[in-house]
Amino acid sequence: MNGPGYREQIMAELSLRSDEEIVRLRQAVRNHAIAHGFSLVEQTKFVTAASELARNTLQYGGGGDARLDALTNGVRRGLRLTFIDRGPGIANLDDALRDGYTSGAGLGLGLGGARRLCDEFAIQSAPGAGTTVTITKWKAY
């Protein structure tokens, strides 16, 4: 996955155990997206996906943690967010990623909507094993 010229730098590590911490995550993501030269549209997409995934981490995973990394790959620059919870996990990932699937409140985008807002999306989950979701947005040139 990480080839020659690929570098990452941890920009922030945040706890996600309350609504206030979700607000802090959104602010951190927006601030770093601005600092990395993302357009307003890119910022909005990434912050929206981050908000949906943070809400899922809190609501369905019982809280967890997020890590924001700055990425460089040659001349490309991007941001990656990783969400980790130790909750009940997702029994059926295919259903959870399907458009129109809902299991509660949130922004109504679901995992599939968050996936469409990003350039890269990965999820690992199993019943009783928690969930890890990683999203990446590359700066458009």
Question: Model confidence over 58-75: pLDDT tens digits?
Answer: 999 999 999 999 999 888
- pLDDT recorded at residue 98: 74
- pLDDT recorded at residue 119: 96
Give 18's Cβ-side CA count (13 Å radius). Answer: 3
Per DSSP bridges, beta strands 131-138 and 120-125 are antiparallel
How many helices (H) and strands (E) in the chain? 4, 5
- Region of 117 on the Ramachandran plot (φ > 0 left; ψ -120 to 50 alpha; else beta): alpha
The domain over range 7-138 is classified in CATH as 3.30.565.10: yes
Strand segments, DSSP code E, in 21-119 are 64-73, 76-85
Higher pLDDT, 135 or 95: 135
- pLDDT recorded at residue 12: 94
- pLDDT recorded at residue 3: 58
Closest by Cα among 134, 129, 126 to 78: 134
pTM above 0.75, yes or no: yes
- So where are the chain's domains? 7-138
- The pLDDT tens digits for 73-119 are 888 899 999 999 999 998 888 777 776 656 655 445 688 889 999 99
